[in-house]
Amino acid sequence: MLMRLIDHAKSLQITALFTNLSADEATNAYALEATQMHVSSLMDTWLILKNVEGNGERNRAFSIAKARGLAHSNQIREFVLSGKGIQLVDVYKGGGGVLFGSARIAQEGRESANRVLRNEEIERRQRELDRRRRIMEKEIAMLKEKFAREEDEIRIQIEKDVSREKAIENGEKAIGIQRHADR
């Protein structure tokens, strides 16, 4: 009778909401799909609400088992009942599986602290790189200065050597003129 009612409501494009209290999932391997009345195959959308126990607390979880013709998430989401109504908690995006409640909050805190440590290490390495760059630039400046001094000294020596060569050459010419050497 229920199957006929569901089929008739669908043919009239009537939206209906049905609930099903499933048996304990530990004893029922097909708790996601099977129902006592075997109508799950007629349903277009199948939402699962369950209690998740762990870390000394019980949290509520929500997932979509199927949604015909609709793109949907396959993630299990925690939800909270509060004075503001039903609120979906942001999905935990870290490694290590799905975490709920205080376990999720604690893990997010650890990951946040690790991110801070990694950022501090990056900043420390950047400062070390900057320090090494400054040392290198100082060493380059000192080498350039030393080279400039040596270059000046060598140019002075070159000028002196050129002057001596000219003086020797002029002296040889003068001696040649004085001796009336062949020209």
**pTM above 0.75?**
no
All structural domains of the chain with their residue ranges: 2-91, 92-183
In angstroms, rounded to a whole number, what is the distance separating the alpha carbons of residues 101 and 57?
A: 8
Q: From 1.25.40.10, 3.40.109.10, 3.40.50.300, 3.40.470.10, which CATH number describes the 2-91 domain? A: 3.40.50.300
- What are the tens digits of pLDDT across the range 51-103? 888 878 888 988 888 888 888 888 888 888 989 999 988 877 666 677 777 88
Tokens for 39?
């109508």
Which residue bears the tokens 């099903």? 20
Tell me what pLDDT residue 73 has. Answer: 82
Other beta carbons within 10 Å of 75: 13
Cβ–Cβ under 8 Å, residues 45 and 66: yes
Average pLDDT on 159-181 reads 88
